Amino acid sequence: MWAFHEAERQRRACLTDGRDFSFETVFSHASKLDFMRDAKTAGYFIRLLFVATDSPHLNVARVAKRVKDGGHDIETDKVVNRYRRTLDLLPQAMELADHSVLFDNSHATMHAVVTIKRAEGRLTSFGVQHPLPNWAETALSEHKARQAQP
């Protein structure tokens, strides 16, 4: 738990000091959106690189392989719940980001499936690979619906 709090402290220090930084997160908690809002308010350019798979069950299988190879375990329920929460937060993260790239990691080779960039105060898609994975299609649809709201 110490590492989590230390990482948060360092991110906050970067914001306060105006230093460039990047960080990796599971993105399964709304506090990450709050942090993005704080960074936006502080004038940061936000680039979101988001990696997902077609199914939480694929993630569970990958954790099982990692454990078999000597890595750490994560409870199946946690993997599934994080997967859903992360995808629920994605459209809001896309709205906050100046540049979003969504990657599908369901297969042997990870590849970008959506690229979105902020233009004239609105986010406009400028790169979409068809057919989109279901998770990306849902996120993009929800993002567009959020953009259409007054």
Specify the pTM.
0.90
In 18-126, alpha helices (H): 31-41, 56-68, 76-96
What's the confidence (pLDDT) of residue 119? Answer: 72
Contact 108, 58 (CB under 8 A): no
pLDDT digits (tens, 9 = 90+) for 26-71: 999 999 999 999 999 999 999 999 999 999 999 999 999 999 999 9
pLDDT digits (tens, 9 = 90+) for 97-120: 999 999 999 999 999 999 999 877
With CA atoms as reference, report the closest residue to 96 among 120, 124, 123. Answer: 123
* Maximum CA extent, the chain: 51
User: Which of the two residues, 125 and 42, has the higher pLDDT score?
Assistant: 42
